[in-house]
Amino acid sequence: MKKYIILAFTSLLALTSCESFLDRSPLSDLSPSSYFKDKAEMKNWNAGIYDAFQSALSKRQVLFGDVRSDNVTGTTYEDSKIYMNALMSNISDTSWEPFYTCISRCNIGIQKYPTIPNILESEYAPYIGQCYAMRAYLYFWGTRAWGKMPIITEPWDGSLNNIAVPRSSLEKVKEQILSDIESAIGYFNISDTSDKFYLGKDAMYALLTEVYMWYNEYQEALKASDHFIDHKTLTLSNGEVEWKNIFTNPSGSKEVVFAMAWNYETDGALGGWPQLLGASNTNNGYRMSQPIFDEFIDRLRSGEGSDARFWNTIDTVKVYYKASRVPLTYASYTAGVESVNKCIKYSDIDPEREYDSANQVYKSYFAIKNTTDSEFALVMMRMANIMLLRAEALNKLNRGDEALSIVNDIRSRVGYLKDAKLEVSSVNNTNEVENLILHERQLELFGEGYRWFDLMRTGRLIEVMDPIYSARQEAANVTVTGFGHEGTKYWPIYYGEFESNKALVGDQNAPYTER
């Protein structure tokens, strides 16, 4: 994607390359006579928005949503500050800069696209729609990760009076997100995008479903998810091959709504995800937790089908081989730990996989990603997430039977046939049904950035994570504090932000410090 914007941004780098999100050049430095003079430059600028989006979330998707949660355990190469819930404001991943770089580019696009000479609304509509859509998406990620956020919706005019921007309330951030989604949908109604690597109308209804679920507005979430019922092109994958195709070929998947494009030639290696969950060339920090592994073993031995997500998330062929070629059990988690360490959700079958002719078995099956030359598209929105959120909303509205029918659809398409309605004492037991849905989400969406936020929005975060953090702390022979301060559900604000934006001073997320 970078190849489309290198020349266009040569004279504009000062706008977004500084360390602080508020240390940026004013709009007046961009001469209208030299930029935004035709439709081609509008397309180039939009490419720059997606380039900034890559920087903002290519690593943080899984770092924010999976790594802090019970989805994973450490491989002995984990970051102890994250693993023990001891975050500090000097961790570089707490910086807002990548988020506000992207938001800043959206703001300029929103202001400048309609001013391009001789351009029709129908021509700029899908592009300005993407600006509103991306801004909403980034603010939604931001408010879940940090809580209150500075709301910046205009390009900086150069006035020193406007350089200090305080954090807005959670309610104001919510209002901004919903307003931007509404604006995006309005423009997409004029002219929509159809490429899965660009935000469009479908993506906005997916985001709207997530937003309403985050704010516990279940009727509105249900209404937003109605968009996908009997959709013409989007549906749940059907069968193991199609499920794997979600990750190995998202542009061709009928389940994928939106994915992050990546091209090694122009973007370099997509190293963040492998670095955290599965790299062939280095020791990644985290692996699937044993409770998830054990649940997959239970399903494998259930007599009610199996679950193809198991061997398409970790290389069970390699686990089997490393664990002395005995049938997989709970003990295989430790016996085959080298293989469990590597998530292969985005991996293709390895064409050079080695075959043990003496034992007539492959030693492994998938080609593990690496941090030096990996090229794959991260899935950001898909139907399974939307439908499971819909199931949660139905359950909250006392429609548990319908909710569990969705769970059965999610399961059966990957080969697990156990009826979810038989796993609860009653389909009207809201708490039991919600627990079951959340557990299914954990298996389905592993490594896609959802689990921490699922626990946050359902009020289960401390209940689930406190004993896990306590056990980790005890094992490390450090003071056992468990989850600690409730405020650590959020990330700290990076210390550099307080130096560049004095309006933030005194408003760090508790219990973190500003230095």
Interstrand relation of 286-288 and 72-74 (parallel, antiparallel or unpaired)? antiparallel
CATH architecture for residues 1-192+488-515: Alpha Horseshoe (1.25)
Q: What is the Cβ-side half-sphere exposure of residue 307, based on CA atoms within 13 angstroms?
A: 23
Cα separation, 222 vs 389, whole angstroms? 8
Q: Which two tokens stand for residue 157?
A: 């005019």
Cα separation, 393 vs 212, whole angstroms? 10
- CA pseudo-torsion sign 338, 339, 344, 347: positive
The 3-state secondary structure of 255-314 reads CEEEEECCCHHHHCCCCHHHHHHCCCCCCCCEEECHHHHHHHHHHHCCCCECCCCCCCCE
Cα separation, 57 vs 50, whole angstroms? 11
**Tens of pLDDT, residue by residue, the chain (515 residues):** 433 333 333 334 334 333 343 334 455 555 545 689 999 999 999 999 999 999 999 999 999 999 999 999 999 999 999 999 999 999 999 999 999 999 999 999 999 999 999 999 999 999 999 999 999 999 999 999 999 999 999 987 666 666 789 999 999 999 999 999 999 999 999 999 999 999 999 999 999 999 999 999 999 999 999 999 999 999 999 999 999 999 999 999 999 999 999 999 999 999 999 999 999 999 999 999 999 999 999 999 999 999 999 999 999 999 999 999 999 999 999 998 888 999 999 999 999 999 999 999 999 999 999 999 999 999 999 999 999 999 999 999 999 999 999 999 999 999 999 999 999 999 999 999 999 999 999 999 999 999 999 999 999 999 999 999 999 999 999 999 999 999 999 999 999 999 989 999 999 999 999 98
Q: Which residue has the tokens 């997959």?
A: 296
Cα separation, 460 vs 446, whole angstroms? 18
Cα separation, 457 vs 467, whole angstroms? 19
For residue 166, give the DSSP letter. P
Spans of all domains in the chain: 1-192+488-515, 272-376
